[in-house]
Amino acid sequence: MSTSDRRVRRTRETLHRALIELMMERAYDRISVSDVIARANIGRSTFYAHYRDKDDLLVVSCGEHLRQEIARSPDRGRWAPVRVMIGLAAHYPQVYEPLIGSRASVTALRGYRNSVAAILREHLDAQPGPPADDLTVATLSWALVGLLTAVTDRAKPVAPELAWRRFEAICAGAHPASRAPR
């Protein structure tokens, strides 16, 4: 890995960490790009060399983080990424609120759903059997975002294990290429 690649990775991780730290302190809509770059101690032009705006940072960095967490998981089953995503949402609801919560921006919500769909697609395509079709992936990704919203609900959170069982039940009736192994 080149020095340039390490610097890019380090810069992106620093910006992601800064945003997450700020989100733990205050509402996402009260955080500006200026706040993020001040916390990260990174210049404005460096920020914009990596991301279009705050929503782009949130969606892209969360997608990258999800992939890292999924790669670390020992579970390699057909729905392993789902278990990881549900666990992360349950553990960090304050991070998921600006992504999928009631006050999430359309850009953040659609971007996160697209990240979830891409991750599901990558994982399903790597599994034995026929690949899942686009409509199935879209349906499952929106279903998963809905379950994650329920898991992170401040008023009445759904237990992660119940969310997992519900997702399995949904998949049992899904397209044959997307069914969980028995």
Burial label for 157, CB within 10 Å (0-12, 13-18, 19+), is middle
Task: Specify whether the CB–CB gap between 175 and 133 falls below 8 A.
Answer: yes
Domain housing 101:
53-178
91-139 pLDDT, tens digit each? 989 888 888 888 787 888 888 899 999 999 988 888 888 888 999 899 9
Query: Do 6 and 68 fall into the same domain?
Result: no
Q: pLDDT of 31-88, one tens digit each?
A: 999 999 999 999 999 999 999 999 899 888 888 888 999 999 998 878 889 999 999 9
Question: Whole-model pTM?
Answer: 0.79
Are residue 88 and residue 122 in the same domain, yes or no? yes
Residues 174 and 105 in one domain: yes
Q: What angle do CA 157, 161, 163 make, to 5 degrees?
A: 60
